[in-house]
Amino acid sequence: MSGIVAIVGRPNVGKSTFFNRLIKRREAIVDAVSGVTRDRHYGKSDWNGVEFSLIDTGGYVVGSDDVFEAEIDKQVELAIDEADAILFMVDVESGITGMDEDVANLLRKVDKPVFLVVNKVDNAKRAADAVEFYGLGLGEYYTVASMSGSGTGELLDDLVKALPEKEDVVEEELPRFAVVGRPNAGKSSFINALIGEDRYIVTDIAGTTRDAIDTKYNRFGFEFNLVDTAGIRRKSKVKEDLEFYSVMRSVRAIEHCDVCLLVLDANRGFDGQVQNIFWLAERNRKGIVILVNKWDLIDNKTSNSIKEFEREIRREIEPFVDVPIVFISALTKQRIFKAIETAVEVYNNRAKKIKTSVLNDTLLPIIEQNPPPAYKGKYIKIKYITQLPTPQPQFAFFCNLPQYLKEPYRRFLENQLRKQFDFNGVPISVYFRKK
């Protein structure tokens, strides 16, 4: 299980710059996926082969410093609850402020690794000034410069040592479906509608997600584990509508599932918070089914309403538009069965393995008819295609000049894979390798 690392601190100490530096290092290599940069507050990073999720709490608070003061305690408390390690960032230019002291007071009581990171230290004088941060009572500190990246290596070495070891989980063959979405979208009602009055539950297993419960279902002819983020204990101190809260919760559930059932309230539409969770699932390469709940409550529906609503959603999720959208009502149990049936289809699509011979026989003739555009007079020849042995669909296209293949052609190949082999609801990765 990869750890979750939260970056906390008052505004303008450089959290986002540091966050961007950490996720870009990896994205430049692995995640050359369109749509990745839309969600600025959550990312994956790795250091020395240890992968972890990174959450920049700074992105979740908008407004003046006074608004921030009220929110920052909530954010830090949440980070303390949810993260495996905390990076507390301060700014050497301004020294210790009252707000820094407030955060330090919260963090001193914590039984988790806390790393005090003094930012903007880019010369010897500033390194000497950093000594004052011993005054926060958090022990040793790390000096970094987010802009240039200096000092981050030592910090990351110690950070990854402090993260929980990967557990060797004996993988159960059952599909794991996570029900995610913003608060009050109807996740609980959906789950209750699924369970039904007689509770078709075989066993309750404590999930790998710390306090989301896995419930094993055997119903509708399907057997699957449901990861319920709706029923997670509410924190009395946390306002349910905090966007950060939903995202924090969803991170764990999404990382440990095969397919996300993203429930949204038809009255609110596909808003920013729902989009955050969508891109979170896409970034983690999980199967996705979008469930539009409370459709029965929409007034003035016309025969075109569903089409228009779908069009709206697909516009927001471009270029990954090959995602099933099911209109349901958890209250009247309308299309509940359809939702599960679709999730099972997406699960099967994600697990699909295509023989190398079939891939080559199908795609090479198409590529021959639509070859990659020449680059500076050089012709690019794709000679061979294979599916990589990964849990989700990833394909390697072997060619003579992989460095000259551009994004539009990558998308063309992805669309052909979707068209020929049906990967509805599943993010696909396409890599170009040197033959």
217 is in an annotated binding site: no
Q: Binding site annotation covers 296?
A: yes
Instruction: Report the 3 state secondary structure along 103-161.
Output: HHHHHHCCCCCEEEEEECCCCHHHHHHHHHHHHHCCCCEEECECCCCECHHHHHHHHHH
User: Does the annotation flag 121 for ligand binding?
Assistant: yes
182 has binding-site annotation: yes
3 annotated binding-site participant:
no
Residue 187 annotated as part of some ligand binding site:
yes
Tell me whether residue 294 is annotated as binding: yes
Annotated ligand binding at 13? The verdict is yes
> Per the structure block, which two tokens stand in for 12?
């303008």
- Whether residue 221 is annotated as binding a ligand: the answer is no
Pairing between strand 382-387 and 394-399? antiparallel
150 is an annotated ligand-binding site residue: no
Residue 302 assigned ligand-binding role: no
Please indicate if the annotation marks 378 as binding a ligand. Answer: no
Q: Would the annotation count 57 as a binding residue?
A: yes
Burial tier of 341 (Cβ tally within 10 Å: 0-12, 13-18, 19+): middle
111: Cβ–Cβ under 8 A, 6 or more apart, which residues? none
Q: Is 49 marked within a binding site?
A: no
Q: Per the annotation, does 196 bind a ligand?
A: no
Q: Is 304 annotated as a binding residue?
A: no
212 in a known ligand binding site: no
Tokens, residue 302: 């016309």
Q: CB of 428 within 8 A of CB of 359?
A: no
Look at strands 141-143 and 114-119 and give their pairing.
Answer: parallel
419 is in an annotated binding site: no
Residue among 246, 211, 198, 202 nearest 60 (CA): 246
DSSP string covering 306-356: HHHHHHHHHHHTTT-----EEE-BTTTTBTHHHHHHHHHHHHHHHT----H
Residue 59, annotated ligand binder?
A: yes
Binding site annotation covers 349?
Answer: no
**Tokens 């003579």, residue located:** 400
Whether residue 9 is annotated as binding a ligand: the answer is: yes
Q: Is 232 annotated as a binding residue?
A: yes
Q: Is 60 annotated as a binding residue?
A: yes
According to DSSP, residue 170 is labeled -
Cβ–Cβ < 8 Å for 129, 155: no
Sheet-wide strand order for 429-434: 382-387, 394-399, 429-434
Q: Is 276 part of any known ligand binding site?
A: no
The DSSP code sequence of 212-227 is PEEEEEEETTEEEEEE
Residue 361 is labelled as binding a ligand: no
Binding site annotation covers 229? Answer: yes
Known binder of ligand: residue 295?
Answer: yes
Q: Is 148 annotated as a binding residue?
A: no
What whole-number distance in Å separates Cα of residue 160 and Cα of residue 5? Answer: 10
Q: List, as residue ranges, the binding site.
A: 9-16, 56-60, 119-122, 181-188, 228-232, 293-296
Q: List, as residue ranges, the binding site for GTP.
A: 9-16, 56-60, 119-122, 181-188, 228-232, 293-296
